[in-house]
């Protein structure tokens, strides 16, 4: 079996091998079914590599031009659907090289000079992820803008605030939505930070030890838009930290999407009724005609498990690998591809949900904040302002709530005379302090839910996100 990939035979390997792979092992070993995703990046890296070889005098300039022309022809054929490598190509790198040799003959055999599939795949994967990171950033920003629009529309709407899923204190709905805008900003920052470590070139590290071929690694790094090169060839071909880092950052982003999804599911329930789901983002039951199901947030909540699972899988794959390259690394691609795909799909779905998939019900929200004891803390604050120690005020209000519960009353229902039985410092102005809108307005500490503070944050985020009201 002579030849292999450079000799025109059917085998991938050198004449060191006498027999071909068992068909089942060939299928098991091949990655062409999924790493064809890296085709554009493989072509970009190969073009930069060919031009560098010519600049360094390793190949002639006209040979480099032929190689680049051939690589662009493969790109055009792929776009037209005519480049469809099969199992015999094993992976995208050999598929491109085999096609190039078929197009150019012996010149095509020169492209792989001074590199290995080990540094080649590392380069491709970084280029691919860098592009996806650059797509994710404006997508996250778009979701932030969708939340901001809802917040601007509900700057004076109140919603119950919860701790332990128990009514705690009323808050401004805009303040609640802006909390997710803040979370998403941290997600953007994390992904931008990941991009910095993605953007280092392993190209030219070869199999693991560098190459005696007089190449210029920094020129290919610059041509491909990398910030620099790996200083250690062993590290260059064996580093997959960036796949873990990205998956961890994506997992946190999915956590934030899932937390909001859970709230939407709760808000849309009959028991709560804070939002109505529109027909654009809900489905019905095959049996019960009256139902409208929150499929979008439920799917987002469920898809978190995929992303979390891939993160764990990548960590497990890497943890026991000796230096340098190992075939285990083939398992990084499907995981990484799915993390990116799932995260982008969930972001898109949640953006549509917030933009046109739900409408808040101010009437239900207003009724909710006016029918509980979430203003109890404000009675304590009222007494503190009249020189009553907080812990004493806390005990007084606890006794008041207990009495009201026993009589089926709310705090607003107690007469002034009965209030003064609990403490003589209480005056008629307490009733104003207990009104839900005043409860919210009073919280003017920096970062609080007070309307003036919320307006400041709406203005700040409108400027940051470049949002101007239509």
pTM, rounded to two decimals: 0.92
10, 269, 285, 359: the active-site residue? 285
164, 286, 406, 445: the active-site residue? 164
Mind listing the pLDDT tens digit of every residue in the chain (470 residues)?
334 454 444 455 566 677 788 889 989 999 999 999 999 999 999 999 999 999 999 999 999 999 999 999 999 999 999 999 999 899 999 999 999 999 999 999 999 999 999 999 999 999 999 999 999 999 999 999 999 999 999 999 999 999 999 999 999 999 999 999 999 999 999 999 999 999 999 999 999 999 999 999 999 999 999 999 999 999 999 999 999 999 999 999 999 999 999 999 999 999 999 999 998 888 776 767 667 899 999 999 999 999 999 999 999 999 999 999 999 999 999 999 999 999 999 999 999 999 999 999 999 999 999 999 999 999 999 999 999 999 999 999 999 999 999 999 999 999 999 999 999 999 999 999 999 999 999 999 999 999 999 999 999 999 999 988 65
Strands of 155-265, DSSP E: 158-163, 166-172, 200-201, 228-229
Task: Transcribe 279-330 into DSSP letters.
Answer: GGG-B--SS-TT--B-HHHHHHHHHHHHHHHHHHHHHHHHHTPPSS--GGGG
Q: How far apart are CA 264 and CA 356, in angstroms?
A: 13
The answer to whether the CB of 39 falls within 8 A of the CB of 92 is: yes
| Domains (range + CATH), the chain | 4-113 (1.10.275.10), 118-215+227-361 (1.20.200.10), 368-464 (1.10.40.30)
Is 269 known to be catalytic?
no
Is 164 known to be catalytic?
yes
């Amino acid at each position: 079996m002579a030849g292999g990939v450079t000799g025109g035979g059917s085998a991938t390997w050198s004449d060191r091998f006498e027999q071909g792979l068992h068909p089942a092992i060939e299928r098991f070993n091949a990655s062409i079914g999924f790493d064809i995703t890296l085709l554009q990046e493989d072509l970009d890296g190969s073009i930069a590599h060919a031009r560098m070889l010519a600049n360094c005098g390793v190949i002639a300039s006209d040979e480099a031009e032929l190689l680049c022309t051939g690589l662009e022809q493969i790109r055009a054929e792929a776009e037209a659907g005519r480049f469809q490598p099969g199992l015999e190509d094993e992976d995208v790198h050999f598929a491109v090289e085999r096609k190039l040799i078929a197009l150019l003959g012996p010149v095509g055999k020169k492209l792989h000079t001074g590199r290995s599939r080990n540094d080649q795949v590392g380069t491709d994967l970084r280029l691919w992820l860098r592009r996806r990171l650059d797509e994710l950033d404006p997508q996250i920003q778009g979701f932030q803008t969708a939340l901001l629009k809802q917040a601007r529309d509900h700057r004076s709407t109140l919603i119950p605030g919860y701790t332990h899923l128990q009514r705690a204190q009323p808050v401004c709905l805009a303040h609640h939505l802006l909390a997710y805008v803040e979370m998403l900003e941290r997600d953007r920052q994390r992904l931008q930070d990941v991009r910095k470590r993605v953007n280092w070139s392993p190209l030219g590290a070869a199999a693991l030890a560098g190459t005696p071929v007089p190449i210029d690694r920094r020129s290919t790094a610059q041509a491909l838009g990398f910030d620099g090169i790996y200083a250690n060839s062993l590290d260059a071909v064996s580093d997959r930290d960036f796949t873990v880092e990205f998956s961890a950052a994506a997992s946190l982003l999915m956590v934030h999407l899932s937390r909001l999804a859970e709230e939407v599911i709760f808000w849309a329930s009959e028991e709560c009724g804070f939002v109505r789901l529109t027909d654009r983002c809900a489905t019905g039951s095959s049996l019960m005609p009256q139902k409208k199901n929150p499929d979008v947030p439920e799917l987002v909540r469920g898809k978190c498990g995929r992303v979390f699972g891939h993160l764990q899988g990548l960590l497990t794959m890497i943890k026991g690998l000796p230096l340098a390259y190992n075939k285990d690394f083939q398992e990084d691609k499907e995981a990484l591809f799915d993390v990116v795909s799932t995260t982008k799909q969930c972001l898109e779905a949640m953006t549509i949900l917030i933009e046109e998939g739900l409408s808040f019900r101010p009437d239900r929200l207003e009724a909710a904040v006016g029918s509980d004891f979430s203003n109890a803390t404000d009675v304590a604050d009222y007494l503190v302002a009249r020189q009553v120690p907080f812990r004493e005020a806390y005990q007084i209000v606890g006794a008041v709530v207990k009495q009201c519960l026993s009589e089926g009353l709310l705090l607003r229902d107690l007469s002034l005379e009965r209030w003064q039985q609990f403490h003589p410092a209480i005056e008629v102005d307490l009733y104003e302090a207990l009104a839900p809108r005043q409860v919210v307005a009073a919280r003017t500490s920096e970062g609080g839910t007070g309307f003036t503070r919320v307006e400041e944050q709406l203005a700040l985020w409108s400027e940051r996100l470049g949002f101007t009201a239509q």
